[in-house]
Homo-oligomer: A and B are copies of this chain.
């Protein structure tokens, strides 16, 4: 009695098919960042749907960061270069909805920064080293200035290390997690007592990381990076979560 095997069908909305087609064109490179989509009124002709349907599809694509439309632009929606903005949004959402603790985020940063340091020590070029040195110099210069300048320089350093590690995934995730952690903890840290001492220690730590990277000592760079993140944030993590962080310090 068993006839041919039938598969369950999924009704797929018109706007989804449009999203699929445009998405595919972008992913495959047929549409490059900077190029323009036809106008909504053109698209409704090409896809044989109404403008509402085209617009819903464009909203989805825009929500994914693939295109951007601007009222009055006579050239249609513009294909955007990939940015980690969406990745960041997903992770931020995860952090808020799933109730991710600061501890977990800091822990993840320790993992990522350590990996970046490890890789950077093996793969860095002189150019990368120069960037890191410049960033550390900027940190020293900004030590007496405001907290904003200092952390900008710090971010530049971590970014240089991540770039030197040559792993875009590590790089982007580190960037995303860093910005989330900063959002969560910035006020607290800026207002923390003994900021000057913390700043000095932070500079020393970064100099040590730089030295390890320059020496090509990956494991050392990794350990120092982890320690640096830990020192910076451990005070703001609930005491109960700290053992889990220390687990990463071998």
Contact = CB atoms under 8 A, between A and B. Distances in A.
Interface of A: 11, 15, 26-27, 52, 55-56, 59-60, 62-64, 66, 71, 82, 84, 86-87, 89-91, 93-94, 96-98, 100, 104-105, 107-108, 111-112, 115, 118-119, 122-123, 166-170, 172-173, 177, 218-219, 244, 247-248, 250
Nearest to A107: B167
B100 A168 contact: yes
B82 A93 contact: yes
A12 to B, nearest CB: 12
Nearest to A169: B108
Interface secondary structure of A, over-half rule: helix
A108 B27 contact: no
Most interface-central of A59, A123, A219 (chain B CB within 10 A)? A59
A89 B60 CA distance: 13
Contact of A247 (B98, B111, B118, B170): B118
Report, nearest first, the 3 A-B pairs whose CB atoms are least far apart. Answer: A122-B247, A87-B90, A63-B63
Nearest to A92: B27
Contacts of A64: 63, 89-90, 93
B119 A15 contact: no
A177 B169 CA distance: 10
Contacts of A170: 107-108, 111
